[in-house]
Structure 1
Amino acid sequence: MDSDSALLNYVYQNAEMGTRSIDKLLDIVEDQEFRRHLEAQKREYSAFEREAGNLMERSGCNQKGLTAFEKMRTNLMIDMQTLTDHSASHVAEMMMIGSNMGVINAVKNLKKYPEADRDTRALMERLLKSEEDNVQQLKKFL
């Protein structure tokens, strides 16, 4: 897999994971201010998903979304972690952990694929910045 394809697929999968997780969490979260925040975050992830998909299509990359196992595992983890505590504080903490994982993986991928083209790297860098911003914004819900 070439650099552009690898980075674009990472962005796509990260954004897909974000939108799917937030969809599931919106069924659980009751705090209205936090729901609005999650809905805004979901729109942002959806935009990344579309943009990565468009870049993959233009460059002829094969799009690799999340596997059925990854989707099932994510849903089970959310169910287990919110079984006894579905407060905004707990869900914000879960989202922060996910965003921090996104930050780590984005940095690793940017270092792993320095030869990726400018547009691909720019998208990855914007995703990295978005994940960092998410962590900061979620702090107020802890």
Structure 2
Amino acid sequence: MTQDIEMLDYICKNAEMGRDNLSHILDKIEDAELHKCLVSQMEEYQKTYDSAYEMLDNLGHKPESAGVMAKTMAHLTSDVKTISDNSPSKIAEMVIQGNTMGVTKMTKRIHEYDGDNKKIVALAQKHVAMEEDNIEEMKKFL
């Protein structure tokens, strides 16, 4: 059960960071289509978070937050990257980089997961697929 809790907690943290980072850059976006895409992606992150949260709750646990320091560093990084260029291309590039990091880290976690809960693996794989879809969606803004 420890493996299940750790995996679900990681899914929550990953989805939380994605959602919060997108939320942080939304006010910098002037392109209506890009804004709409990122709001939709935020909603997908929230759905993933909610699913993992519910599974954790059923195990009698609550997720740990991604952490103030991690969020602050991510926000500062995006602020610095967009201070001189907040074009749709630059924003898309940043989102692609974030999604790529998410895919890499979640895939690694899936491979390290020793539990046998197929629902948890399916949720993690669905999250990876969502991040990969986000990357494809952002390419049109490059």
Q: Do these two structures clear the TM 0.5 threshold for a shared fold by scoring above it?
A: yes
Structure 2 matches for 1:1-142, cutoff 5 A? 2-142=2-142
Q: Deviations along 1:12-53, whole A, 9 cap, x unmatched?
A: 011111111111111100000000000100110011111111
Q: What is the one-letter code of the residue matched to 1:58?
A: N
Give distance in 2, aligned partners of 1:66 and 1:106: 14
Q: What is the one-letter code of the residue matched to 2:12?
A: Y
- Deviation at 1:115? 2.2
> Structure 1: where are the runs of 5+ without partners?
none
Q: What is the one-letter code of the residue matched to 1:50?
A: D
- Deviation at 1:72? 1.1
Q: What is the one-letter code of the residue matched to 1:105?
A: K
Equivalent residue pairs, number? 142
* Sequence identity (%): 32
Give distance in 2, aligned partners of 1:107 and 1:20: 21
Q: Say whether the 8 Å CA contact 2:18–2:42 is kept in structure 1.
A: yes
Q: Say whether the 8 Å CA contact 1:53–1:63 is kept in structure 2.
A: yes
Find runs of 4+ consecutive structure 1 residues off by over 6 angstroms. Answer: none
- Deviation at 1:62? 4.1
Q: Say whether the 8 Å CA contact 1:18–1:42 is kept in structure 2.
A: yes
Q: What is the one-letter code of the residue matched to 1:85?
A: D
Q: Say whether the 8 Å CA contact 2:53–2:62 is kept in structure 1.
A: no
